[in-house]
Amino acid sequence: MAVQQTISVDLGDRSYPIVIGRGLLDGGFDLGEFVSGTDCLIVSNEVVAPLYLDRVLSSLNGKNVTTIELPDGEIHKTLATMQEILDQLVDSRANRDTTVIALGGGVVGDMAGFAAACYMRGVAFIQVPTTLLAQVDSSVGGKTGVNHPEGKNLIGVFHQPQVVMIDTDTLGTLPDRELKAGLAEVIKYGVICDVEFFAWLEANMQALLDKEPAALAYAIRRSCELKAEIVAEDERESGCRAILNFGHTFGHAIEHCLGYGEWLHGEAVAAGMVMASELSAVSESDRTRFRALVAAADLPVTPPAIDPADWLSAMGMDKKVRQKKLRFVLLKALGDAFITSSFDADHLQRILGAD
């Protein structure tokens, strides 16, 4: 993508741009423009920092910058790891005009954003996502947090960034497995609210797997546009934003039951979305098309073997639960999702593998 594109997340005085382009980390974007004070903390991890930290530092000339490199992986998305970020802020004597910059995937972004929200009751932060999943989903919308041993993302707050800067060139160093995991969230947008985008994905999945720049640029842009529209309507997930959790009730349970990191988040969501489609009252042709698209992305279409009782226990901690009742995001048709607590309980048991 030769020309950068900007999408606005419209939230009144908390509005911010999502800037998408190539070469943004190589002088194509002035990150310092969004740093109001003089002090910054860059939060990255041991995998991403050697690749991109120096480039971010070069875009912050004149700023007083400290850095912290965290261990890589979902298993480290904990309060203990976030404490390390807070300790670094204290050790550097950071004030309320400090900006926290998240450089990495969804785990780094979620923890850095949570630390920024907590430190001195809230300092600014910036998202520089380097994985496809973070670029199309977790970096946008202000969800921050960490996992608890009893459930995914149970501890956190909403804290919107100042800007999301997406340099699509970072996907050139992304392992194939991570790319495919990110495609699960891309597919999600098509199936929940944009059937034309779903059809585009059917026609262009191989191009995405081959990392063709034009295909990736369009998929990222359209995903961000759709999420920005939904977040602008329902910032704190009290209504329609919950449809963004399609497949996540099952997916988070997979991650919890297997142990974080055994399946990547996107892999668990892919299988979870197929399960949600099976629970939905959609036509068989729609269900077949959806399953075929997930398979075309080389993502799991069947869940791992988990005891039904463990499934239900894990899903009972889902954040959509109300009055101890499970709620699911289901489909009326491709491109038309809704959230409900009305579902066929016997069918759910069969989906979970109960006799």
Whether 74 is catalytic is: no
- Per mean pLDDT, which range of 70-74, 163-167, 293-297, 342-346 is the poorest? 342-346
- Portion of the chain with pLDDT greater than 70, in percent: 99
Please check whether residue 7 is in contact with residue 17, taking contact to mean a CB–CB distance below 8 angstroms: yes
Q: Which of 143, 152, 221, 256 is catalytic?
A: 143
Whether 76 is catalytic is: no
Q: What mean pLDDT is predicted for residues 316-344?
A: 91
Give yes or no: residues 165 and 259 share one domain. no
Q: Which of 22, 76, 152, 265 is catalytic?
A: 265
Helix, coil or strand: residue 42: strand
Give yes or no: residues 93 and 225 share one domain. no
Give yes or no: residues 234 and 96 share one domain. no
Q: Examine the pLDDT at 2 and tell me if it is beyond 70.
A: no
Q: What mean pLDDT is predicted for residues 159-176?
A: 97
Q: Which of 177, 56, 187, 175 is nearest to 112 (CA)?
A: 56
Q: What mean pLDDT is predicted for residues 263-281?
A: 97
Whether 265 is catalytic is: yes
- pLDDT score, position 83: 97
Whether 241 is catalytic is: yes
Give yes or no: residues 93 and 236 share one domain. no
Which of 120, 143, 173 is the endpoint of a domain? 173
Determine the angle formed by the axes of helices 195-209 and 213-233, rounding to 10 degrees.
140
- pLDDT score, position 319: 85
Q: Which two tokens stand for residue 198?
A: 């779903």
Give yes or no: residues 23 and 76 share one domain. yes
Q: What is the pLDDT of residues 53-66, one digit of tens each?
A: 999 999 998 899 99
H or E element that contains 347: helix 345-351
Q: What mean pLDDT is predicted for residues 326-354?
A: 92
d(CA 189, CA 109): 21
Give yes or no: residues 181 and 166 share one domain. no
Q: What mean pLDDT is predicted for residues 97-111?
A: 97
Strands 143-148 and 151-158, sheet pairing: antiparallel
Q: Which two tokens stand for residue 138?
A: 């977790």
Cα Rg of the chain (Å, integer): 20
Give yes or no: residues 42 and 150 share one domain. yes
**Contacts by residues 228-237 (CB-CB < 8 Å, ≥ 24 positions apart):** 228/7, 228/8, 228/9, 228/10, 228/18, 228/140, 230/193, 231/9, 231/11, 231/140, 231/141, 231/142, 232/9, 232/10, 232/11, 235/11, 235/14, 235/141, 235/142, 235/158, 235/160, 236/158
- pLDDT score, position 211: 96
Give yes or no: residues 322 and 185 share one domain. yes
Q: What mean pLDDT is predicted for residues 11-29?
A: 95
Q: Domain containing 160: what range?
A: 5-173
Q: Which of 22, 241, 256, 327 is catalytic?
A: 241
Q: What is the mean pLDDT of the chain?
A: 95
Q: Which two tokens stand for residue 89?
A: 């802020």
d(CA 299, CA 288): 15
d(CA 139, CA 21): 15
> Read out DSSP for 210-258?
TT-HHHHHHHHHHHHHHHHHHHHH-TTSSSGGGGGGTTHHHHHHHHHHH
Q: Which of 84, 178, 237, 267 is catalytic?
A: 237
Looking at the 3D structure of the chain, how many domains does it have? 2
Q: What is the CATH number of the domain that holds 16?
A: 3.40.50.1970
Give yes or no: residues 243 and 187 share one domain. yes
Which of 122, 155, 173 is the endpoint of a domain? 173
- pLDDT score, position 321: 84
Please check whether residue 116 is in contact with residue 100, taking contact to mean a CB–CB distance below 8 angstroms: yes
Q: Which of 245, 255, 256, 327 is catalytic?
A: 245
- pLDDT score, position 163: 98
Q: Examine the pLDDT at 1 and tell me if it is beyond 60.
A: no
- State the amino acid at position 333 in one-letter form: A
Q: What mean pLDDT is predicted for residues 182-197?
A: 98
Which of 173, 202, 236 is the endpoint of a domain? 173
Whether 245 is catalytic is: yes
Q: What is the CATH number of the domain that holds 240?
A: 1.20.1090.10
Please check whether residue 7 is in contact with residue 20, taking contact to mean a CB–CB distance below 8 angstroms: yes
Give yes or no: residues 184 and 131 share one domain. no
- Bridge partners of 62? none
